[in-house]
Amino acid sequence: MDILIGITTKDSVLIATSKSVARGVSVIKTNDDKTRELTDHSLLAFSGESGDTTNFAEYIQANIRLYGTRNGFEMSNKAIASFTRNELASALRSRKPYQVNILIGGYDVKKKKATLNWIDYLAANVELPYAAHGYAQYYVLSLLDRHHDPNMTQEQGLELLKDCIKELRLRMPIDFKGVQVKVVDEAGVRKLPEDF
Amino acid sequence: MYILDDHIVCAVAGIDSDASILVNRARVFAQSYLKTYSEEIPCEILVKRLCDIKQGYTQYGGLRPFGVSFVFAGYDDLHGFQLYTSNPSGNYSGWKATSVGANGASAQTLLKQEYKEDFSLDQACELAMKVLSKTMDSATLTSEKLEFSTVGKDSASGKVYQKIWKPADIDALLKATGLGKAEEDD
């Protein structure tokens, strides 16, 4: 029931992830961070089988840092998404696949372009202007279809994201304890202090 | 002269049979990088990985090292046009103009004297021909004794191209630079 939403704007990507962790019928955490920073300008958000999720995310994070130190430059976001897809694809064909769904938000400082990649546990990788994982998709994709504009500002993107969260609070049958929002833009990755 | 990938070529000096093993490895590296990252391999990563193989044979006894020096010419978004050499010990270095192999040192001296930063492609081709004519043991240059290749970027489409010259192209350049004339006059 975890929520992952990503929205690209003209010069940034917004990534929202739900803050709750639930085991069975109990909520056991209300300030969970379902993201990992891969490079200065790349953020990975994950949902799925707990255990698999952090393990896989940190494995990808470590490999991307290793590439950076070995080669003296960071991987592009396309390369990061492709690498992650490949890891999921080979896990999928192993005895125990990772059950992890992923969004990767990135900003290319040279090309001045924000990108968002949607990757699911079946290792499908798509670059999209906006995306969501899990049940949240059913509620927010229609809103995003209607209101998203690739040239929108970061502020407009945040307003759209707030509308999405409002709809989720109204329609979702469970309390997801709000979302944490991180922004990736020219300045890097930062967490927004506001309460969503 | 070997094409390693769409954006990188290399020339070989030394034992050809050793070279073909490394060229094959390089092509596999290039394609496996493309499969993993959906991007062409940056030139330096490819050169470095080949040199890691070469270096390995300098550490342990019993095996003969690869008796090959390479000159790599390539293009990537990271550093633009690039030129590298590598030797059997696994050292590699980047250059603006360089040479390896027989009489490589004297060719290098000539290049150092005559190379200019703002050379056009034609001027660079002419200099390469001139240096070859002065440093090769044969009296006259013909397309039978030379291989010639260039890596460039199409200014209109922005696409990287590589050209391994046809004998006719080489002869035309020899004629234009006046270096192959002696034979024709006879």
Q: Are both B106 and B82 inside the same structural domain?
A: no
In contact, A160 and A7? CB cutoff 8 Å: yes
B42 to A76: CB separation less than 8 angstroms, yes or no: no
Q: Are both B18 and B107 inside the same structural domain?
A: no
Q: Are both B171 and B110 inside the same structural domain?
A: yes
B36 to A83: CB separation less than 8 angstroms, yes or no: yes
A71 contacts in B (CB within 8 Å)?
42, 44-45
What value does the mean pLDDT of chain B take? 92
Average pLDDT over residues A77-96: 97
State ipTM: 0.89
Q: Touching check for B52 and chain A: CB below 8 Å?
A: no
pLDDT at B181 over 60: no
Distance from CA of B79 to the nearest CA of A (A): 11
Boundary (domain end) residue, out of B95, B119, B153: B95
B42 to A82: CB separation less than 8 angstroms, yes or no: no
Q: Are both B72 and B137 inside the same structural domain?
A: no
pLDDT given for residue A3 in this prediction? 96
- Compute the distance between CA of residue B167 and CA of residue B126 in angstroms, rounded to an integer: 16
- Compute the distance between CA of residue B123 and CA of residue B116 in angstroms, rounded to an integer: 9
Q: Are both B144 and B173 inside the same structural domain?
A: yes
Neighbouring-strand partners of residue A23: A26
Q: Which residue in B31, B34, B36 has the most chain A C-beta atoms within 10 A of its own C-beta, making it the best mutation to test that interface? A: B36
Range of the domain at B159: 101-186
B36 contacts in A (CB within 8 Å)?
82-83, 86
Nearest 5°: the CA angle B82, B86, B92 is 70
pLDDT at B182 over 80: no
A78 to B37: CB separation less than 8 angstroms, yes or no: yes
Q: Are both B20 and B88 inside the same structural domain?
A: yes
For chain A, which domains are there?
A: 4-191 (3.60.20.10)
CATH number for the domain spanning B29: value is: 3.60.20.10
Q: Are both B181 and B122 inside the same structural domain?
A: yes
H or E element that contains B81: strand B80-86
Q: Are both B37 and B56 inside the same structural domain?
A: yes
Q: Touching check for B36 and chain A: CB below 8 Å?
A: yes
pLDDT given for residue B179 in this prediction? 80
Residue pLDDT, tens place only, B14-38: 999 999 999 999 999 999 999 999 9
Boundary (domain end) residue, out of B29, B61, B95: B95
pLDDT at B68 over 60: yes
pLDDT at B60 over 90: no
In contact, A16 and A181? CB cutoff 8 Å: yes
pTM: 0.90
H or E element that contains B112: helix B104-114
Chain A residues touching chain B at CB-CB below 8 Å: 71, 73, 75-76, 78-79, 81-83, 86
In total, chain B counts a number of residues equal to 186
- Compute the distance between CA of residue A5 and CA of residue A14 in angstroms, rounded to an integer: 8
Residue pLDDT, tens place only, A48-71: 999 999 999 999 999 999 999 999
Cα-Cα-Cα-Cα dihedral sign, residues A36, A136, A21, A126: negative
Q: Quote the number of domains for chain B.
A: 2
pLDDT given for residue A196 in this prediction? 79
pLDDT given for residue B186 in this prediction? 47
pLDDT given for residue B139 in this prediction? 75
pLDDT at A144 over 90: yes
Q: Are both B185 and B111 inside the same structural domain?
A: yes
pLDDT given for residue B140 in this prediction? 83
pLDDT given for residue B177 in this prediction? 86
B38 contacts in A (CB within 8 Å)?
78-79, 81-82
Cα-Cα-Cα-Cα dihedral sign, residues A4, A40, A155, A81: negative
B37 contacts in A (CB within 8 Å)?
75, 78-79, 82-83
Neighbouring-strand partners of residue A47: A101
pLDDT at B184 over 60: no
